[in-house]
Amino acid sequence: MRKNIVVGNWKMNLKREESLELVSAVLSKLPEDKNTEVVFAPSFLYLYKIAKLCSDFERVKVSAQNCSKEGKGAFTGEISSEMIESSNGDYVIIGHSERREFFKETNADLVQKINMALANNLKVIFCCGERLNQREESTHFDWVKQQINESLFHLSVADFNNIVIAYEPIWAIGTGITATSEQAQEMHGFIRTIISEKFGNEIAENTSILYGGSCNPNNAKDLFTQKDIDGGLIGGASLNADDFLAIIHSF
């Protein structure tokens, strides 16, 4: 059975005290009887502290927002998967469209990062998604297939079990424009089909596929009730405890 997961990607927001307050506010109101996994993706700087705050909550995990493609060495300013793991991180987000666009990360770079993360016992939240012009030209399915194929399909079945996919249409990220639940479901169903063709039906059925892109308390329920949408990767709305909690409670 695949998991429902809600991830809060804080990006480069929140000072230390604000971060700790937000985590405490969310932890104090988590649904007790729910099966949903909640993941905080704070700045690297607070990851260890936040992992400690969350350590008594079995269904709460902590993610880094990025990792180096290198293992260790003379790479000033980089953070390795080994460091994330030793700071009690559980996940790392890889392939976010902001990293692809602003830091020019290619599918080949992502392969190295994914391999490094998995070798250091981290789970990977792999982001994919098309630009608006690609959707308008109806090349969005081919594009997403290529992203997944080039960055994930070299993995063994055992490693693929540690992958969560986040479908994030770029035109919906931070814009206030959400994909309709039908558009999102259509892409999620497609992603599950290509995973099934590569790794078999059982693996595909067990892979959590999250939606990201202006998800908020008003649209989360509609999205999460689609059969192939297993949760969300939440940016802006994860910075507010009430909004993030409302999204978590949408299952």
Catalytic residue numbers, as ranges = 96, 168
Beta-carbon count within 10 A of 160 CB: 20
Whole-angstrom distance, CA of residue 155 vs CA of residue 85? 20
Residue nearest to ligand PEP (CB): 235
Q: Which CB atom, from 89 or from 169, has the smaller least distance to ligand PEP? A: 169
Q: Which CB atom, from 11 or from 192, has the smaller least distance to ligand PEP? A: 11
Q: Which positions lie near ligand PEP, rule CB under 6 A?
A: 9, 168, 173-174, 212-215, 233-237
Beta-carbon count within 10 A of 94 CB: 30
Whole-angstrom distance, CA of residue 121 vs CA of residue 106? 23
Q: Give min distance, CB of 164 to ligand PEP, in A.
A: 13
Helices 181-199 and 140-152: crossing angle, nearest 10°?
A: 40
CA dihedral in degrees (203, 244, 97, 20; nearest 10)? Answer: -110
Q: Which CB atom, from 89 or from 235, has the smaller least distance to ligand PEP? A: 235
* Residue 143: closest CA among 135, 228, 175: 135
Q: Which CB atom, from 73 or from 176, has the smaller least distance to ligand PEP? A: 176
Q: Give min distance, CB of 56 to ligand PEP, in A.
A: 27
Using CB atoms within 10 A of its CB, is residue 104 exposed (0-12), middle (13-18) or buried (19+)? exposed
Q: Give min distance, CB of 174 to ligand PEP, in A.
A: 4
Q: Give min distance, CB of 218 to ligand PEP, in A.
A: 13
